[in-house]
Amino acid sequence: MTQMGFSVLKIITIPDSKEIVSSEIKKSLSEGIYRVILITGGLGPTWDDSTASFLAETLNVPSILNSEALALVTQRYKELYEQGLVESAKITSARKKMAYLPEGTNTIYNPVGAAPGIIYKDSINNTMLYCLPGVPKEMKAMFSILIPELKMISALEESFYFETEFFTSFTDESILAPFLLKIREKYDVWIKSLPKSYQEEENIHLIISSKGKTQKEAKSLVFKARDYLSELISGGEIEEI
């Protein structure tokens, strides 16, 4: 998300509790500061997979059998059966459960698993909410489908991101710290230092990143900061990655 130009304002982990999930979604939507909300987990066929029903209650709409979602689930189990990965393609009540979505929401195709994702657009607060499975392979595959849409949202914010990585000649982060402070005072960039333990005695890895109204602007800031660091440490003692 950061590489697409977004700023991550909040990351939370919560239990499968209707009250807590509902409260967090309502709070995030009402604050009106989030262009995108990503929710992962709770979309499967078991009793504890309740994200869709919790979202429906939060939005005060019924859970309905979504025809598009049912078609996706049906097609997916047909494919899995043909591949010999499941014993039957029959749409049982547990499988049909994954096709019940909040009224007024849309689906996200799941190319790896069976549970469709959910898209909800909050026009009042100008927020897009996406629900993805918690299984990492499924979540990553479905997130990749969303990337073009997310890039369009980011572009509307006129926010472009750029970063560069390199090794310095330093092994002691406390010696490097004053130089990094000087860079921050001069340029609007974010600097992340990634030292090893003292016993490993490896040169410190740095990441310098910035945002701008254009990719060129963000890139220019990063390279100016990098060059300034080179000057501060007497030139040339950095190695690009």
Instruction: Give pLDDT tens digits for 46-57.
Output: 988 999 999 999
pLDDT value at residue 80? 93
Mark whether 26 and 104 lie in a shared domain. yes
Mark whether 195 and 101 lie in a shared domain. no
Query: Are 173 and 142 contacting, i.e. CB atoms less than 8 angstroms apart?
Result: no
pLDDT value at residue 236? 43
Mark whether 8 and 86 lie in a shared domain. yes
- Beta-strand pair 127-132/36-40: parallel
The whole-angstrom separation of Cα 144 and Cα 167 is 30
| Residues of the chain with confidence (pLDDT) below 70 | 196-202, 235-241
Mark whether 142 and 165 lie in a shared domain. no
Q: Which domain holds residue 31?
A: 2-156
Reported pTM? 0.79
Mark whether 122 and 197 lie in a shared domain. no
Query: Are 42 and 53 contacting, i.e. CB atoms less than 8 angstroms apart?
Result: no
Which of residues 156, 187, 219 is at a domain's end? 156
Mark whether 93 and 79 lie in a shared domain. yes
The whole-angstrom separation of Cα 192 and Cα 206 is 6
User: How many structural domains is the chain composed of?
Assistant: 2
pLDDT value at residue 4? 85
Torsion sign over Cα 20, 26, 30, 35: positive
pLDDT value at residue 146? 97
At CA 52, angle to CA 132 and CA 67, rounded to 5? 90
Mark whether 149 and 212 lie in a shared domain. no
* CATH number of the domain to which 74 belongs: 3.40.980.10
Encode pLDDT of 114-129 as tens digits: 999 999 999 998 899 9
Mark whether 191 and 78 lie in a shared domain. no
Torsion sign over Cα 139, 142, 145, 150: negative
pLDDT value at residue 212? 86
Mark whether 14 and 121 lie in a shared domain. yes
Which of residues 129, 156, 183 is at a domain's end? 156
Mark whether 192 and 142 lie in a shared domain. no
pLDDT value at residue 239? 53
